[in-house]
């Protein structure tokens, strides 16, 4: 962090501000692929469930990971997460059931054809995710919804969907006003009652337009919606996070929290040259994060000792979102590590490997000395 920055001006390095803002209804968690979005979204949902009445976490990534994270199979229907009484999870089905999509009811004759081509339509994943959002807007059964999003590109398209759809529907309604009389005449000529069918269809379009406008307004309201960016301290992730935040600003979507995952803390390095080099590399990018985002809450999470899987592991890990992680100093060389020391198994594994290699070298040197005698 810049030495010129006033320490008192640094925002709290936790997500406590998200937990405390009780007006939030939509919380998006996103970033580059492979940075730990699912772990962070599940952990945030667990902390929200501790203070909210009913919380839902939705995966909008076609390659779902919620089931793997909680070690429990989820579907497109919200299910109660094991070990909780008010936390639900669901995974949006990327293969749409068109009969359930709002606005397509009554088109049974065309449903088969639409179903055949739907899986190959570009952007169908985002469309189905947005359809699920619209369902929740119309019957909001949860006090808060957390979105475990797809990698950045897919997520930006999802967030852009309301504005794009609203513009398209406005254009469609303007065409209806311009050519409504001609359409009604053609409909009467083609089939009896055709005019009523057109009016019914346009009524559904108007209803859809109202819902889309409501979603768009809520997404742009910082009292209702926020976006938590997840990244790692490397160049590509830093670059993509900057792009993501700029795009969110264009969409007028609130973003004030950054979670930097997989951080190696200097206290846990010991004598490893590899880890020391990684710490120096990470520190360079951490400094850039602090310089670029002085007005953001920046949360640092450690490179963990093992995968965070299962409700208990997620619950334990989620504490790091609200309480800054404290690295455990490594014991002096030659001293055994305490059974519960640290929380970084990758580091411990590397240390054990180094110690094993040292012992092996000592054994080989002893054998060589014995052979020379």
CB contact at 8 A, 328 and 341: yes
Pairing mode, strands 297-302 and 225-231:
unpaired
Q: Is 37 annotated as a binding residue?
A: yes
Report DSSP letters for 277-329, one per residue.
HHHHHHHHHHHHHHHH-TTSEEEEEE--SS---SHHHHHHHHGGGTS---PPP
Q: Is 39 annotated as a binding residue?
A: yes
Active-site option among 6, 8, 61, 291: 61
Beta-carbon count within 10 A of 300 CB: 20
Angle formed at CA 290 by CA 308 and CA 243, multiple of 5 degrees: 80
Active site residue 287: no
List 26's β-bridge partners, or say none. Answer: 145, 225
How far is residue 132's CA from residue 76's CA, in Å, rounded to a whole number?
A: 9
Instruction: In whole angstroms, give the CA distance from residue 208 to residue 204.
Output: 6
- Annotated binding-site residue? 32: yes
Sign (positive or negative) of CA dihedral 30, 33, 37, 38:
positive
Is 271 annotated for ligand binding? Answer: no
DSSP codes joined into one string, 243-264? HHHHHHHHTT--EEEEEEEEEP
Annotated ligand binding at 105? The verdict is no
33 known ligand binder: yes
Binding residues: 32-39, 234, 261
Binding residues for ATP: 32-39, 234, 261
- Give the catalytic positions in this structure: 61
């Amino acid at each position: 962090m810049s030495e010129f920055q006033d320490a008192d001006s640094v925002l709290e390095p936790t997500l406590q501000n998200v937990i405390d803002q009780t007006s939030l209804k939509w919380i998006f968690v996103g970033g580059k692929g492979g940075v730990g979005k699912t772990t962070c979204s599940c952990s945030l949902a667990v902390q929200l469930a501790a203070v909210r009445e009913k919380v839902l976490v939705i995966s909008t990534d076609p390659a779902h990971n919620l089931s793997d994270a909680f070690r429990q199979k989820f579907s497109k229907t919200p299910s109660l997460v094991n070990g909780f009484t008010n936390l639900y999870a669901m995974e949006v089905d990327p293969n749409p059931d068109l009969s359930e999509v709002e606005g397509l009811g009554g088109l049974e004759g065309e449903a088969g054809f639409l179903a055949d081509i739907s899986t190959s339509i570009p952007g169908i994943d985002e469309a189905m995710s947005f359809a699920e959002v619209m369902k929740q807007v119309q019957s909001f059964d949860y006090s808060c919804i957390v979105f475990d999003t797809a990698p950045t590109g897919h997520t930006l398209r999802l967030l852009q969907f309301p504005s794009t759809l609203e513009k398209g529907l406005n254009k469609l309604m303007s065409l209806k006003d311009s050519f409504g009389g001609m359409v009604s005449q053609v409909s009467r000529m083609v089939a009896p009652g055709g005019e009523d069918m057109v009016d019914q269809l346009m009524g559904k379009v108007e209803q859809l337009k109202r819902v889309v406008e409501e979603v768009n307004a809520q997404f742009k309201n910082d009292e209702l919606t926020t976006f938590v960016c997840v990244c790692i301290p490397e160049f590509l992730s830093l670059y993509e996070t900057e792009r993501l935040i700029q795009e969110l600003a264009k969409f007028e979507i609130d973003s004030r929290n950054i979670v930097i995952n997989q951080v190696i803390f200097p206290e846990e390095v010991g004598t490893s040259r590899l880890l020391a080099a990684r710490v120096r590399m990470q520190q360079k990018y951490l400094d850039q994060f602090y310089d670029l985002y002085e007005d953001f809450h920046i949360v640092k999470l450690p490179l963990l000792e093992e995968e965070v899987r299962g409700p208990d592991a997620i619950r334990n890990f989620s504490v790091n979102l609200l309480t800054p992680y404290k690295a455990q100093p490594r014991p002096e060389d030659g001293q055994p590590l305490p059974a519960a020391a640290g929380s970084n198994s990758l580091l411990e594994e590397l240390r054990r490997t180094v110690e094993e290699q040292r012992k092996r070298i000592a054994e080989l040197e002893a054998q060589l000395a014995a052979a020379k005698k």
